Amino acid sequence: MEYLVLARKFRPQTFEDVAGQEHVVKTLRNAIGQGRVAHAFLFSGPRGVGKTSVARILAKSLNCEKGPTPVPCNVCSNCLEITNGSSLDVREIDGASNRGIDEIRELRENVKFAPAAARYKIYIIDEVHMLTREAFNALLKTLEEPPSHVIFIFATTENHKVPATILSRCQCYDFRRISLAEIAENLGKVAQAEKIKISSTALSWVAEAGDGSMRDAQSIFDQVISYAGMNINDTDVEEILGLVDRKYLFRLSEAILQRNAGACLIILEEAYLAGLDMKHFYQMMLRHFRNMLLVKIVADGGSAFDITPEQIEKLKIQVQNATRETIQRYVEILIAEEESFRRSQEARLKLETIIVKMAYLEPIIPIGEIISTIEAIEQKLNRGCNDGEKIAPRPISTYTPALKATAKTDMENFSPAGDTKIKDHAVEYKPAANLAELCNNFKKFIKKENPPLAAKIESAEFLGYNSGTLVLGFPKGYIFLDDINEKSQKNRLEQVAGEFFQEAVTIKITETEAEKANVPGNNGRGKNNAQNEIRREAMNNPVLQKVLDEVDGAEIVEIKTRTDKSR
């Protein structure tokens, strides 16, 4: 006896056998039971999901000798002839090879004749979207008002190509992709009926390879049986389906998450030498990272996205230490580069550059985590204020310390810009008053010319100015001291000072002892040191540093405590 492939041998023969199309099956059964059967139907959906099978079952239900009935008997002559494709009253026409106006004219002439033996004359036209415009136009009038004994059933994978005039004359049913679980369940029944030993994991792999198509999955299962026999091991399924290639995906994604570009290139080299097509591998990568993102977002609901249980567990382990934002960024990179990669003549080289770009991507910290960390820093700063003063919540870019220092008062000849009493560039003042006035004028001038720089020297004290040399004193351990001593910052400060003093200025920076705070019962130096330590810790916080690195032009301008008791 001629061998019958699984897709034909296990084709649904009743509505109950149809998998994954409950909405269509229920409507058709109710229509038959209520005697409300339309004269034209359009079944649309992906390949291999049951459109033609449902059309045949509908034809049997209408022409069964016990019908019309929602449950055809499948034993009467009409049912058997429709099942075998030999019925004179149920014609299956291929729209791709009978697409011209002549074929449709012949069909229009034949519909006038009564059925030979059945109740209805039924025309099933597969891939109806392939008909020409003229053929559709010739069919319109007959489709709108066919004889009472004629029913049209159209099937198509591209219903958007069917003219609206045809759609408006049909009852339209959209067939869906079949879920992985439903396909695996059906394959399990097939394996049991055929007495084939295969694991549920292997069945899930075959179902996944079917990509939502029952027919494709059954055809692949047929191929697996031919390869491995009646006793199928997981290794056999991996080999024939090419699932061995998946190990490169998991290794590659792991190396990308670890930001190990060298390992990424080595893994890609191994995949290339193993014979993997780079463009196909790119599509596998895109789907793999999409699965990672789905598992990261929905966790235990990953099975709803047709990912095998085994793969879900592996993905959960892989993404547990990665943020959703980071994985989403990887997917966005792959999508953005897809078109240029497809056009590239050097697929391997292009893929290497994309992978390296992904590997060197800094992990993205969720904005909520950044905000919560900043709030924790503010709370810690508040707790560090021993005298009860509160730190007002302010943007990161407006914080700078405000500690005072004890300044030496011996200052010889100096020339403050704008002073009307300048005489031969040497004016004598009382040291304390003149230093304070000069310091305030200088800071106001810098604040106008360069506000960020002015914030960083807010705590500076003038220790002396003589012969173009300005000595600035900062409290010991001052948080911005290293920044001010940096060459570019110091040059900028000397340039502004030169404009203020109207001559070339060299700046010398020294550390001074912080003065005791004038607060009864408190040790001022201890308090200042404690606050300074907290601020230094805040400045070195990795989240804060990450914000500064990620945001172009961002810098911390001021960290300032406030004594407003109401805040």
Structure token pair of residue 329? 């960024």
Contact partners, residue 102, CB within 8 Å, separation at least 6: none
pLDDT of res. 424: 35
CA distance 260 to 265: 9
pLDDT of res. 560: 54
Based on the number of CB atoms within 10 Å of its own CB, is 542 exposed (0-12), middle (13-18) or buried (19 or more)? exposed
Q: For 4, phi and psi rounded to 5 degrees?
A: -110, 120
For the chain, the distance separating the N- and C-terminal CA atoms, rounded to the nearest angstrom, is 91
Domain at 244-359, CATH from 1.10.645.10, 1.20.272.10, 2.130.10.10, 2.60.40.10: 1.20.272.10
> Which secondary-structure segment (H or E) carries 357?
helix 347-359
Q: Which residues of 271-289 are buried (b: 16+ CB within 10 A; e: fewer)?
A: bbeeebebeebbebbbebb
Structure token pair of residue 102? 């002549």
Domain at 180-241, CATH from 1.10.10.60, 3.40.190.10, 1.10.8.60, 3.60.9.10: 1.10.8.60
pLDDT of res. 549: 63
CA distance 459 to 374: 24
Q: Is CATH 3.40.50.300 the classification given to domain 6-174?
A: yes
Q: Are 458 and 484 a contacting pair, CB within 8 Å?
A: no
DSSP 8-state code for residue 540: T
pLDDT < 70 regions, the chain = 1, 300-305, 366, 368-369, 378, 381-435, 513-567
Task: Write down how long the chain is.
Answer: 567
User: What is the chain's percent helix, strand, coil content, to nearest 5?
Assistant: 55, 10, 35
Domain boundary assignment for the chain: 6-174, 180-241, 244-359, 379-550
pLDDT of res. 394: 41
Structure token pair of residue 171? 């009852």
Q: For 385, phi and psi rounded to 5 degrees?
A: -85, 100
- Give the chain's count of helices (H) and strands (E): 24, 8
Q: Are 122 and 90 a contacting pair, CB within 8 Å?
A: yes
Taking each helix axis as running N to C, give the angle between helix 347-359 and helix 246-257, from 0 to 180 degrees, rounded to the nearest 10: 40
Q: Are 57 and 18 a contacting pair, CB within 8 Å?
A: yes
CATH code given to domain 379-550: 3.30.70.2210
pLDDT of res. 395: 42
Structure token pair of residue 389? 């003063």
Residue with tokens 């019958």: 4
